[in-house]
C-alpha cells in the first residue's frame, strides 16, 4: 500500500473532512490516527464506502507496511506534534496540509513545515507536500493569508501551494450526510473534485 497523509498540528483546519474525501477519491483505506476522537473512522464506518481502521500509538508499525505496496492508504493525523504525525511524515509518499485563515493557523503551518524539513533530512527526502487554504473566513485577512501560503510554493523542493477552497456550507452539509466534499451538490462539488485531482496528480501515476 502507498501511504498519503493529511496533517496539521493545529486543530480546526479541516483535516478530517478533507482526509475522508481524499480517501474516497482514491478509493483508499482510511487510517484514523486519532482514536480518542475517531471522527474519520466513524465517518467511514457509517458510510461503508471503504475500509477504515483506528490506529493507536502502539500500532504505528502498520504505517510501515502501508508504505510498501501499491493500493492507497490515507492517514488522518491527529492535531498535535507527536509520534503519529512524525511517523506519517517519515513514511508517506505525499501529505496534504490544510490551513484555515487565521494568524494562529499560519503559525501552525510554519511548525508543520519545520516537521517536514526534519522528516526530509532524516527519513523521507522525497516527501511531497501539498498546501491548501481551507476557507476564507475574514475578508480583511484573506490577501495577506493567501500571500503567505503562496510564499511556501517551492516545486523544486517538492512543496506545492494548491490554492484555496472557500468556506462552503455545502461541504459541511455533505460531510454531515456522509458524503465526500467532491459529491457536494453544484459548483462546490466540482470545485472540490478539481482540487483533489490537482493534488493527486502530483504524486499518482
Q: Please tell me the pTM assigned to this model.
A: 0.94
CATH of 2-201 given 3.90.320.10, 2.60.34.10, 3.30.465.10, 3.40.50.300: 3.40.50.300
| Nearest CA-CA partner of 118 in 148, 88, 153 | 88
Determine the pLDDT at residue 142: 76
Instruction: Please choose, from the candidates 107, 74, 85, the residue with its C-alpha nearest in 3D space to the C-alpha of residue 180.
Output: 74
Q: Is the pLDDT of residue 3 over 70?
A: yes
Average pLDDT over residues 67-91: 91
Which pLDDT score is estimated for 143?
81
Question: What does the alpha-carbon distance between residue 82 and residue 125 come to, in Å, rounded to a whole number?
Answer: 20
User: Which position has the higher pLDDT, 18 or 46?
Assistant: 18
- Output the pLDDT for position 98: 96
Residues 34 and 50 sit within 8 Å (Cβ to Cβ): no
Amino acid 34: pLDDT: 93
C-alpha closest to that of 90 among 69, 114, 67: 67
* pLDDT over 90, % of the chain: 71
Q: If you average pLDDT over residues 185-192, what whole number do you get?
A: 94
Q: How far is CA 151 from CA 83, 93, 143, 159, in A?
A: 28, 23, 12, 11
Question: Which of 55-64, 148-157, 166-175 shows the lowest mean pLDDT across its residues?
Answer: 166-175
Neighbours of 171 (CB within 10 A): 26
Length of the chain: 205
Q: Tell me the C-alpha distance between 194 and 175, whole Å.
A: 18
The pLDDT assigned to 24 comes to 94
Residue 51 above 90 pLDDT? no
Which pLDDT band, with edges at 50, 70 and 90, does 39 fall under? very high
Instruction: Give the pLDDT mean for 181-193.
Output: 94
Predicted local distance difference test score (pLDDT) of residue 21:
95
Which of the four pLDDT bands, split at 50, 70 and 90, describes residue 136?
low
Domain limits of the chain?
2-201
Q: Over range 187-205, report the average pLDDT.
A: 93
Note the pLDDT of residue 205. 66
Amino acid at each position: 500500500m502507498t501511504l498519503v497523509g493529511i496533517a496539521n498540528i493545529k486543530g480546526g483546519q479541516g483535516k478530517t473532512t478533507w482526509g475522508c474525501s481524499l480517501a474516497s477519491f482514491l478509493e483508499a483505506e482510511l487510517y484514523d490516527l486519532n482514536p480518542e476522537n475517531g471522527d474519520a473512522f466513524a465517518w467511514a464506518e457509517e458510510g461503508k464506502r471503504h475500509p477504515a481502521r483506528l490506529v493507536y500509538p502502539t500500532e504505528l508499525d502498520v504505517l510501515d507496511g502501508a508504505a510498501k505496496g501499491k493500493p492507497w492508504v490515507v492517514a488522518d493525523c491527529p492535531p498535535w506534534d507527536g509520534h503519529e504525525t512524525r511517523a506519517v511524515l517519515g513514511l508517506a509518499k505525499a501529505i496534504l496540509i490544510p490551513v484555515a485563515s487565521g494568524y494562529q493557523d499560519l503559525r501552525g503551518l510554519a511548525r508543520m513545515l519545520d516537521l517536514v524539513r526534519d522528516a526530509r533530512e532524516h527519513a523521507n527526502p522525497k516527501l511531497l507536500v501539498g498546501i491548501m487554504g481551507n476557507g476564507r473566513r475574514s475578508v480583511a485577512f484573506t490577501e495577506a493569508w493567501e500571500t503567505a501560503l503562496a510564499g511556501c510554493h517551492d516545486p523544486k523542493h517538492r512543496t506545492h501551494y494548491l490554492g484555496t477552497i472557500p468556506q462552503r456550507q455545502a461541504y459541511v452539509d455533505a460531510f454531515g450526510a456522509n458524503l465526500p466534499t467532491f459529491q457536494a451538490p453544484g459548483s462546490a462539488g466540482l470545485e472540490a473534485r478539481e482540487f483533489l485531482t490537482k493534488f493527486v496528480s502530483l504524486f499518482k501515476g
